Amino acid sequence: MPTPTKGPRLGGGPAHERLMLANLAASLFEHRRITTTVTKAKRLRPYAERLVTFAKRGDLASRRRVLAVISNKTVVHELFTEIAPAVSQRDGGYTRITKIGPRKGDNAPMAVIELVLEPVSARQATVAEAENATRRAGSSAAPAAAQVPAEDSTADVAAAAPAADETEATPAETPAEATPAEAPAETETATEGDAEKA
């Protein structure tokens, strides 16, 4: 059995409520922001975000599900071609509700509900990259832990040696590296020369 929604029903009956939410969602997608009462805005938010999630999928079945709710094909086309690509980087939170002053006639609390079409901020992108890096590090923690001490020990040895020793070691290493490569060749020629003398 479906969970009942919180608060009183909008309109006279369930069919009227469905029509009101569908019309509010169509107006929101068409104008990008609408002014309505706080209650209607709060009830519209999950309804509209679910339709945006269908639009992000972009397949034919999703388009037909949205068309079953919103009968205006122009609005549905706009939702799938303009709004969905604009919010493709977001995982949710496609709408924003901002409370404004009460309505003059009956003092009803009013709010503006609008689509959040701004790109995801650099800070949020950095946090997402850090979380992904943490997940990757967590899955390969054992191999990474085995590699880190070996790298640290080499860095510590290099840092512990004085700078003068490093400059002296560099010229000494160059001939030493060249000498072992040349030494076997000289040894072989010397051996051949000894064999000829004998």
Please indicate, yes or no, if residue 88 is contained in any of the structural domains: yes
Please indicate, yes or no, if residue 9 is contained in any of the structural domains: no
Least confident stretch, 107-111, 120-124, 152-156: 152-156
Please indicate, yes or no, if residue 115 is contained in any of the structural domains: yes
**Does the pLDDT of residue 79 top 90, yes or no?**
yes
Task: Specify whether 104 is located in the same domain as 179.
Answer: no
**Does the pLDDT of residue 142 top 80, yes or no?**
no
| Mean of per-residue pLDDT scores for the chain | 78
Model confidence, pTM: 0.60
Domain-terminating residue out of 100, 120, 140: 120
Task: Specify whether 103 is located in the same domain as 166.
Answer: no
- 60-81 average pLDDT score: 95
3-state SS of the chain?
CCCCCCCCCCCCCHHHHHHHHHHHHHHHHHHCEEEEEHHHHHHHHHHHHHHHHHHHHCCHHHHHHHHHHCCCHHHHHHHHHHHHHHCCCCCCCCEEEEEEEECCCCCCEEEEEEECCCCCCHHHHHHHHHHHHHHHHHHCHHHHHHHHHHHHHHHHHHHHCCHHHHHHHHHHHHHHHHHHHHHHHHHHHHHHHHHHHC
Q: How confident is the model at residue 120 (pLDDT cuts 50, 70, 90)?
A: confident
Task: Specify whether 26 is located in the same domain as 79.
Answer: yes
pLDDT of residue 13: 85
Task: Specify whether 108 is located in the same domain as 190.
Answer: no
Please indicate, yes or no, if residue 135 is contained in any of the structural domains: no
Domain CATH code at residue 68: 3.90.1030.10
Q: φ and ψ at 138, to 5 degrees?
A: -65, -35
Q: How far apart are CA 55 and CA 144, in angstroms?
A: 41
Please indicate, yes or no, if residue 32 is contained in any of the structural domains: yes
What is the number of structural domains in the chain?
2
Please indicate, yes or no, if residue 148 is contained in any of the structural domains: no
Percentage of the chain exceeding pLDDT 90: 49
Task: Specify whether 167 is located in the same domain as 112.
Answer: no
Please indicate, yes or no, if residue 49 is contained in any of the structural domains: yes
pLDDT of residue 174: 47
Range of the domain at 173: 161-198
Q: How far apart are CA 97 and CA 135, in angstroms?
A: 33
Task: Specify whether 33 is located in the same domain as 85.
Answer: yes
Percentage of the chain exceeding pLDDT 70: 67
State the sign of the Cα–Cα–Cα–Cα dihedral 154, 157, 159, 162: negative
Task: Specify whether 18 is located in the same domain as 114.
Answer: yes
